[in-house]
Structure 1
Amino acid sequence: MIPSLIIGFIILVLLFSSFVSVQQGTIAVVTVFGKYSRILSPGLNFKLPLIEMISSRISIQNRSVELEFQAVTVDQANVYFKAMLLYSVLNQDEETIKNVAFKFVDERNLMQALVRTVEGSIRAFVATKRQADVLILRRDIVDHVKEQLDQILESWGYHLQDLQLNDITFDDVIMKSMSQVVASNNLKAAAENEGQALLITKTKAAEAEGNAIKISAEAERQAAQLRGQGIALFREEVAKGMTVAAKEMKEADMDTSVILFTMWTEAIKHFSENSKGNVIFLDGSADSMQHTMKEMMSLNILSQNQPKGKDDR
């Protein structure tokens, strides 16, 4: 009875050990007496009990690792990097899985080789660049690392998905000097912009002032022309009126100097009405009035004897 129970128990154990469950996103590597045999896909798989063994389970999902390291530029400046490395198994082919399973002793050795390879590639690139150029070469650094590592990682069965340089810093002295350079450049740009704005403002103001002067001068010229034309018309009408009046007085056998006397008195009246508080001194003696009337008569005779222009013909 007891031997039967033992045999049944052994058979039951062997039966259960013949089935292997592989999680999604994982590949199981099977060996026979320590030698690679085959791979098992995700799901329920069968293996020979006591003969086939699960050597390792390999994740085919993306994996990431954070890096912190230092590099030195060609002008001897220390550069500090903080990066994130994203990698994965190249594919699910059998040969690729064999490389992943047996290239390194364990995961720790793989990670050490991967990190040191990435750091060495970046250090070699930065060593040929100047400190002032490193910040603007972020994309070039990533492309250089991928170009250098793709072939190496593929031989290990892995693929570099992405490398992100999250932070690039320098020594405090360099960071402070860089901040001062940026601040001075900003101040210079602001001063240049302010100067340009002031120049534009002054130019526009000068143009506006010049246009205003031109408009004012043109208006003054037109006003002077109109005033001149008005005075000319006024004088012409006065001359015509005096001519008619003198002719009528002559026909009536009257002295035409009365007209000049009337103009004299009208001028005095106009002065008194429109003087606006100004004081005008006039010599009202008979000799002065006679002298003024003679001058006015001379001007009247001169205007009558002056030849007419083309426009008056």
Structure 2
Amino acid sequence: MPFVPYFLAFLILLVVLSCFVTVQQGTIAVTTIFGKYNRILFPGLNFKVPVIEKVFKRVSIQNRSVELEFQAITIDQANVYFKAMLLYSVWNQEEETIKNVAFKFMDERSFMQALVRTIEGSIRGFVATKRQSEVLGLRRDITEHVKEQIDKTLEDWGYHLQDLQMNDITFDEAIMKSMAQVVASNNLKAAAENEGQALLITKTKAAEADGNAIKIAAEAERQAAQLRGMGVALFREEVAKGMTMAAKEMQQANLDTSVILFSMWTEAIKHFAENGKGNVIFLDGSSEGMEHSMKQMMGMHSLMEPEQPKK
């Protein structure tokens, strides 16, 4: 029949084309012959035995991520809710590792279930030894604990845990509310302490300023009093000098020195009258009063005069 050669040529072409297989970048193909593992094929164009050698599975060697949500209980019976991001990948591209990835689990779903449950169990076991108040500060410790606990198991499966990020850690609503109240009360306490310290500093500085002002005022008053005393002493000294000089001049002129006292008396009365500002001063204006005042001033003058040496 004329179409037989064409049919045979078509079959030969199909067989030749089935000898080649393309593996995408980032994946490794696992082949089997009659259901038994044969070899692995790397990215690119590969040759395989036609018909009997089949590609059993394509294994991705790229990083993969999965989000987890689960619950744990602390040692003080507080419920903790975790939201985490898991980053994992195939351990390496060695043949034995790829065989573990391809044949350890029936399918991808079974592997993911085992991986998630293993990580949840490790985290729950770690959290069960901690108190509720400690959990929030243990993100890094939880990650290190999980990697330490399951790295060997994942290696047997052909995988490696690259990172575990705790994106959200929450508690029951009652606990969250009480934690917020504790934080608020601590903030109020800190604010009150800071305000008290600020008030203490303010009052201390004000007291120091008042004390310094009192010291300065007292020192100024002391200096003023000293200067006033010096002024009075100088005034008296000058008055005494003036009276002494006036008495000497009166004696040289053979005049009675009592005139000086009379002049001072009249000047004093004049000063009282000019600067009295309404004050009432009672003076005895009679001749007997004047004579009595003159006798008193003469007595004072005699007491002030130096005693004459006896001849």
TM-score, length of structure 2 as denominator length? 0.91
Matched with 1:151 is: 152
Structure-2 change in CA distance of 1:237 and 1:36 (3 Å): same
1:158-197 equivalent positions in 2, closer than 5 A:
158-197=159-198
Q: CA deviation at 1:201?
A: 0.5
Matched with 2:31 is: 30
Q: CA deviation at 1:41?
A: 1.4
Q: CA deviation at 1:255?
A: 2.1
Amino acid at match of 1:112: Q
Question: How many residues were matched structurally?
Answer: 304
Q: C-alpha deviations, 1:201-256, integer Å up to 9, x for none?
A: 00111111111111111111111111111111111111000001011112222222
Amino acid at match of 2:281: F
Matched with 2:224 is: 223
Matched with 2:64 is: 63
Matched with 2:206 is: 205
Distance in 1 separating the partners of 2:295 and 2:38: 147
Distance in 1 separating the partners of 2:62 and 2:304: 118
Where structure 2 has 5 or more consecutive residues not aligned to the other structure, the ranges are 307-311
Distance in 1 separating the partners of 2:37 and 2:243: 140
Matched with 2:126 is: 125
1:17 to 2:5 alignment: no
Q: What secondary structure sits across from 2:136 in the alignment?
A: helix
1:85-104 equivalent positions in 2, closer than 5 A:
85-104=86-105
Q: CA deviation at 1:143?
A: 1.4
Q: CA deviation at 1:133?
A: 1.4
Q: C-alpha deviations, 1:24-44, integer Å up to 9, x for none?
A: 111111222222222111112
Matched with 1:82 is: 83
Q: State the percentage of identical aligned residues.
A: 73
**8 Å Cα contact 1:283/1:289 also seen in 2:** no
Distance in 2 separating the partners of 1:118 and 1:72: 15
Q: CA deviation at 1:271?
A: 3.6
Amino acid at match of 1:148: Q
1:229-248 equivalent positions in 2, closer than 5 A:
229-248=230-249
Q: What secondary structure sits across from 2:51 in the alignment?
A: coil
Structure-2 change in CA distance of 1:180 and 1:278 (3 Å): farther
Structure-2 change in CA distance of 1:293 and 1:190 (3 Å): farther
Mean CA deviation greater in 234-243 or 245-254? 245-254
1:281 to 2:285 alignment: no
Distance in 2 separating the partners of 1:148 and 1:302: 118
**8 Å Cα contact 1:86/1:160 also seen in 2:** yes
Q: CA deviation at 1:267?
A: 2.8
1:139 to 2:136 alignment: no
Structure-2 change in CA distance of 1:279 and 1:25 (3 Å): same
Structure-2 change in CA distance of 1:159 and 1:265 (3 Å): farther
Coordinate RMSD, CA, aligned: 2.0
Q: What secondary structure sits across from 1:136 in the alignment?
A: coil
Structure-2 change in CA distance of 1:265 and 1:159 (3 Å): farther
Mean CA deviation greater in 171-180 or 278-287? 278-287
Distance in 1 separating the partners of 2:21 and 2:302: 142
Distance in 2 separating the partners of 1:297 and 1:93: 138
Mean CA deviation greater in 200-209 or 296-305? 296-305
Mean CA deviation greater in 87-96 or 186-195? 87-96
Structure-2 change in CA distance of 1:215 and 1:292 (3 Å): farther
Distance in 1 separating the partners of 2:300 and 2:87: 112
Q: C-alpha deviations, 1:162-193, integer Å up to 9, x for none?
A: 11111111111111111111111111111011
Distance in 2 separating the partners of 1:204 and 1:19: 92
Q: CA deviation at 1:138?
A: 1.9
Structure-2 change in CA distance of 1:128 and 1:260 (3 Å): same
Q: CA deviation at 1:291?
A: 5.5
Amino acid at match of 2:90: V
